[in-house]
C-alpha cells in the first residue's frame, strides 16, 4: 500500500498567485514604444514649440483681458492652472524622452552588432583574397610571360636567319662541276648487243644508211 504524501505548508512550498483586483496592464511594448517615440520626436520639433507658444499666449491674454465671468485662471494667483499644466506636461515629457532614448540605444546596439559581424566577414574575405593572390603570384613565377616568349621567338628567328645566310653563302662559294655528256650512239642499254660494222671488202660498195 502506497504511503500517502503529507502536504507541507512550510517555506519549501511556493505561494499561489494572488487574485488581483485590477487586471494586469501589459500593453504591446513595440506598439507602445513606437507611439511614445513618435510623440517624443514631435515634442522636439519646431512645430510643437510654435503650437505651445500660441497656446500659452492665448491662455494669458484670455485670462487677462476677458470678462471676470469668463476667466478660468486668476492672474492675481500667478496663473496657477497654467503652471500646473506645464509642470504636468514636463513630468510626462521626461519619461517619454527617456523611453525614446532607450529604444534608440537598443537600435544602435543591434546595428553595432550587425556592423561588427559585417566587418568580421569583410576581414575574413579580405584575408582569403590576399592568400589567394599570394598563391597565384607564386604560381605565376614559373609561367612564361609575354615578353619572355617574344624574346625567345626573336632569338630563335635570328638564329634561323643566320643559319640560312650561312648556307646561302656556302652554296654561292661552291664551284660548278662540269657535266659529262654521253654519246647517244655509244650508249649501251644492255638489252641488244651492238655489233661493230665491218669494213667493206674489195668490189663491195658501202651500204647507205638513210638518216631520218
- Per-residue pLDDT tens over the stretch 106-120: 889 999 999 999 999
**26-40, 48-62, 176-190 — most confident range:** 48-62
Which has the higher per-residue pLDDT, 187 or 157?
157
Model confidence pLDDT, tens digit, residues 128-158: 999 999 988 888 777 777 887 888 888 888 8
pTM of the entire predicted model: 0.44
Evaluated on CA atoms 38, 43, 44, 47, the torsion sign reads: positive
pLDDT of residue 93: 87
Asked if 72 contacts 81 with a C-beta cutoff of 8 angstroms, the reply is: yes
Is residue 200 within 8 A of residue 206, CB to CB? The reply is yes
Burial classification of residue 7, based on how many CB atoms lie within 10 Å of its CB (0-12 exposed, 13-18 middle, 19 or more buried): exposed
Reduce the secondary structure of 87-130 to three states and give it as a string: HHHHHHHHHHHHHHHHHHHHHHHHHHHHHHHHHHHHHHHHHHHH
Average pLDDT, stretch 91-95? Answer: 87
Residue 210 CB-half CA count within 13 A: 1
Amino acid at each position: 500500500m502506497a504511503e500517502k504524501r503529507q502536504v507541507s505548508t512550510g517555506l519549501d512550498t511556493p505561494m499561489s498567485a494572488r487574485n488581483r483586483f485590477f487586471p494586469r496592464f501589459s500593453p504591446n511594448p513595440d506598439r507602445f514604444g513606437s507611439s511614445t517615440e513618435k510623440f517624443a520626436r514631435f515634442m522636439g520639433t519646431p512645430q510643437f514649440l510654435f503650437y505651445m507658444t500660441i497656446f500659452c499666449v492665448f491662455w494669458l491674454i484670455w485670462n487677462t483681458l476677458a470678462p471676470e465671468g469668463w476667466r478660468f485662471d486668476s492672474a492675481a494667483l500667478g496663473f496657477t492652472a497654467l503652471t500646473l499644466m506645464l509642470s504636468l506636461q514636463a513630468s510626462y515629457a521626461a519619461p517619454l524622452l527617456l523611453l525614446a532614448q532607450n529604444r534608440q540605444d537598443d537600435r544602435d546596439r543591434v546595428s553595432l552588432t550587425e556592423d561588427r559581424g559585417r566587418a568580421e566577414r569583410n576581414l575574413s574575405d579580405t584575408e582569403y583574397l590576399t592568400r589567394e593572390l599570394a598563391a597565384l603570384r607564386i604560381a605565376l613565377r614559373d609561367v612564361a610571360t609575354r615578353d619572355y616568349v617574344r624574346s625567345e621567338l626573336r632569338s630563335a628567328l635570328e638564329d634561323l636567319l643566320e643559319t640560312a645566310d650561312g648556307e646561302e653563302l656556302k652554296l654561292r662559294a661552291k664551284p660548278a662541276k662540269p657535266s659529262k655528256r654521253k654519246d647517244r650512239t655509244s650508249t649501251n642499254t644492255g638489252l641488244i648487243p651492238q655489233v661493230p660494222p665491218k669494213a667493206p671488202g674489195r668490189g663491195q660498195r658501202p651500204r647507205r644508211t638513210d638518216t631520218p
